[in-house]
Amino acid sequence: MTSRSRLMISAAVLTLAGAAPAVAQTEIQWWHALTGANNDVVVKLAEEFNASQKEYKVVPAYKGSYPDTLNAGVAAFRAGTAPHILQVFEVGTGTMMSAKGAVKPVHELMKEAGEAFDPKAYLPAITGYYSTAKGDMLSMPFNSSSMVMWYNKDAFKKAGLNPDAPPKTWPEVFEAAKKLKAAGYDKCGFTNAWATWANIEQFGAWHNVPIATKANGLDGFDTVLNFNSPLFLKHWTNLVELQKDKTYDYSGRTNNGEGRFTSGECPIMLTSSGFFGNVKANAKFDWANAAMPYYPEAAGAPQNSIIGGASLWVMGGKKADEYKGVAKFFTFLSDVDRQVKLHTESGYLPITKAAYAKVKDSGFYKDKPYLETPLLELNNKEPTENSRGLRFGGLVQIRDIWSEELEAALNGQKTPKAALDAAVERGNQALRQFERTASR
């Protein structure tokens, strides 16, 4: 045997030896919607999990924006090629849970796979959004955030406001915005991204005022919108008044307008706590965040905020062995130290109580109080019927309807009352349509 053929044989043997465990490995597809630094987090998590054991291999794939990823998952399910794990934004929760057989509830998955799983270990403000009325967890929280008020400390100094005592109530915000406007911020005193999240969804929870019956849809798809109530009307009327001289200036339906804060154009902006990375990288001024403002006359306000972000749904119709791998991966994600690391490095909220306690005890928030603001909001009070979350089928479309009506009020086409009534009425039509197609 020549040395050359010996080499060939040993190479072949090596290849076979290397390939054998790869064949036995069960692949788990994970479709997600995260870009940039957040995409790196996903890839790193998958790599760490794959290195930690040999049986399963998690394969992450980026599928576009949140709505794109949801649509890709839906289309793949219809074609019989759904991934095992699909990341869905909180707005898609109603759509996901309504389809019987399309998803595998997480509590069932963990039980069947025999993984240790205690739903009480997770922060209730987060899991409440993704659980049934009975408290059964349907999807695994992944990247959660909430809405906070970001403000420009330098602008506050310029306007003679105390940068360490941000406004707490809406009337205080209006006063501050007027002063900021007088100090040169004449295009935009305050604003918000995610128009309906700020002015309907979070607003209702934070003031303990219902958006709809049946605990905002958590207790059933026969929920009826009813947020055309006095406090909402008061808030919308204020916004419409202040829009006239740009003390408030509308910044669009999504987070496209967030650049108006980091560029220094708008000194106060309500948006997601997930805006942190962007602010840190791009704001060339001294900044901070604070809890969302509230109306002091509302009894019990501030209540607690609700979450945004996304969770991981397990798709239906897969093999038991694959589900076992998914369950192991979820246990891996919930590990305390891993959660601590994710939270402190990426700014996502920790999903377990133990992880939150550990970060708190370490004194991390003393230097970085802005990372605790959303957690303090979420845990401000025991959630009520009006602040556990919301679950409307077809919420993506309903949000568009709500945005249209808010815009019609702000540009003077409709009175605030007419717009609010139309938002409720048209939203209810969409809900009734959805109710007929929901199979559970």
Nearest Cα to 335, choosing from 41, 89, 45?
45
Hey, which residues between 151 and 210 contact other proteins (CB under 8 A)?
A: 187
Tell which one of 50, 169, 243, 278 touches other proteins (CB under 8 A). Answer: 243
- Residue from 178, 252, 332, 338 touching other proteins (CB under 8 A): that is 252
Give the Cα-Cα-Cα angle 293, 297, 300 (nearest 5 degrees).
75
Minimum CB separation of residue 266 from other proteins in Å reads 9
Strands 26-32 and 85-89: parallel
Kindly state the smallest distance separating residue 253's Cβ from other proteins, in Å.
Answer: 7
For other proteins, the closer of residues 19 and 75 by Cβ is 75
Q: Residue 219 or residue 435: which is nearer to other proteins going by CB? A: 435
Measure CA of the first residue to CA of the last residue in the chain; give whole Å.
Answer: 69
Number of residues interacting with other proteins: please give it, by CB under 8 A: 41
Which CB, 243 or 331, lies closer to other proteins?
A: 243
**Positions in 264-293 near other proteins (CB under 8 A):** 265
Query: Residue 253 interacts with other proteins (CB under 8 A)?
Result: yes
- Quote the crossing angle between the two packed helices 336-346 and 36-52, to the nearest 10°: 160
Does position 439 interact with other proteins (CB under 8 A)? The reply is: yes
Q: Considering only residues 175, 335, 404, 421, which one is a binding residue for other proteins as defined by CB under 8 A?
A: 404
* 236 contributes a contact to other proteins by CB under 8 A: no
CB of 100 to other proteins, least distance (A): 6
Task: Report the phi/psi class of residue 106: left, alpha or beta, with left for phi > 0 and alpha for psi in -120 to 50.
Answer: alpha
259 binds other proteins (CB under 8 A): yes
Dist. CA 173–CA 165, nearest whole Å: 12
On the question of a cis peptide bond just before residue 302, with omega within 30 degrees of 0, the verdict is: yes
* Distance from C-alpha of 359 to C-alpha of 350, rounded to nearest angstrom: 9
Using alpha carbons, list the distances in angstroms from residue 292 to 13, 301, 306: 64, 11, 12
Is 433 among the residues that bind other proteins (CB under 8 A)?
yes
Is 255 a residue that touches other proteins (CB under 8 A)?
no
- Residue 394 binds other proteins, judged by CB under 8 A: yes
Q: Provide, rounded to whole angstroms, the least separation between the CB of residue 92 and other proteins.
A: 9
What angle, rounded to 10 degrees, do the helices at 320-334 and 336-346 form? 70
Give the binding range for other proteins (CB under 8 A) out of 50-58, 154-162, 173-181, 252-260.
252-260
Counting Cα atoms < 13 Å in the Cβ hemisphere of 413 gives 9
Give residues 1-60 in contact with other proteins (rule: CB under 8 A).
none
Which H or E run contains 176? Answer: helix 170-182
Looking at 14-22, 135-143, 202-210, 406-414, which segment touches other proteins (CB under 8 A)? 406-414
Distance, in Å, from the CA atom of 65 to the CA atom of 89, rounded to the nearest integer, reads 10
To other proteins, the closest distance from the beta carbon of 200 in angstroms equals 16
Toward other proteins, which CB reaches closer, 78 or 280? 78
Contact region with other proteins (CB under 8 A), list: 2-10, 169-177, 331-339, 430-438: 430-438
Q: Could you tell me the CA-to-CA distances from 125 to 18, 86, 128, 378, 388 in Å, in that order?
A: 46, 22, 6, 6, 7
Which one of 67, 124, 163, 171 is in contact with other proteins (CB under 8 A)?
A: 67
Does 407 sit near other proteins (CB under 8 A)?
yes
Q: Sign of the CA dihedral 292, 166, 269, 240?
A: positive
Q: Which member of 29, 69, 87, 98 binds other proteins (CB under 8 A)?
A: 98
Among 25, 38, 71, 237, interactor with other proteins by CB under 8 A: 71
Q: Residue 248's beta-bridge partner residues?
A: 190
Listed ranges 66-74, 131-139, 176-184, 279-287: which one lies at the site for other proteins (CB under 8 A): 66-74
Question: Does 100 help bind other proteins (rule: CB under 8 A)?
Answer: yes
Asked if 154 contacts 285 with a C-beta cutoff of 8 angstroms, the reply is yes
Following DSSP, what letter does each residue of 371-410 receive, concatenated? GTHHHHHHTSS---TTTS----TTHHHHHHHHHHHHHHHH
- CA of 403: how far to CAs of 201, 406, 424, in Å? 12, 5, 12
Q: Does 250 bind other proteins (CB under 8 A)?
A: yes
Chain contacts with other proteins (rule: CB under 8 A): 67, 71, 74, 77-78, 95, 98-102, 187, 243, 250-254, 257, 259-260, 263, 265, 394, 396-397, 400, 403-405, 407-408, 410-411, 413, 430, 433, 436-439
